[in-house]
Amino acid sequence: MGLTRRNMMLAGTSAFAVATFCGIPVLASAVDEHIADFTGGADAVAGAIELDAPEIAENGNTVPITVSAPGASSIMILAAGNPVPAVATFNFGPMSAARSGSTRIRLAKTQDVIAVAKMEDGSFQTTQATVKVTIGGCGG
């Protein structure tokens, strides 16, 4: 195969992929473990929980996200494609009004962001959103 324009493009994109790659990719099982730790093995179902994240994040260093889950006592946020999947856990107290929180997170690459809420009745709800990341957010 000659050095065609198409091959050059392919080589370029894969080099870019390697350059932006940082840390060891987290296996799906690590995410599952975090969820199992949080839920104690109970099933998390879809519900009123909402995760608001941009579809495309230009800068993975600061991705604004909002989670809300009416009736939740705590909400855990995970980033499935980060070197360390845990992001943050919001624990709501008695003076909390809407069970929602906003923050800014780091995403290493395009990936799913997962939110799991523990409800006051002991059940669990989950949702996820895919965020496309143009520039990864873990330095290197």
- Compute the half-sphere exposure of residue 93: CA atoms within 13 Å on the CB side of its CA: 1
d(C-alpha 117, C-alpha 96), whole Å: 15
Told to check if 18 binds other proteins by CB under 8 A, we report no
Least distance from other proteins to the Cβ atom of residue 125, Å: 19
Least distance from other proteins to the Cβ atom of residue 3, Å: 32
Least distance from other proteins to the Cβ atom of residue 5, Å: 35
Task: Give the contacts of 44 (CB within 8 A, at least 6 positions apart).
Answer: 35, 116, 124, 125, 126
DSSP 8-state code for residue 133: E
Cβ atoms of 119 and 135 within 8 Å: the answer is no
Query: Of 13 and 62, which has the nearer Cβ to other proteins?
Result: 62
Query: Of 44 and 78, which has the nearer Cβ to other proteins?
Result: 78
Least distance from other proteins to the Cβ atom of residue 45, Å: 23
Query: Of 1 and 95, which has the nearer Cβ to other proteins?
Result: 95
Q: Which residue reads 């809420």 in tokens?
A: 117
Restricted to residues 28-87, the positions that interact with other proteins (CB under 8 A) are 61-63, 66, 79, 82-84, 86-87
Locate 49 and state its tokens: 């929980």
Chain contacts with other proteins (rule: CB under 8 A): 22-23, 61-63, 66, 79, 82-84, 86-98, 100-107, 137-140
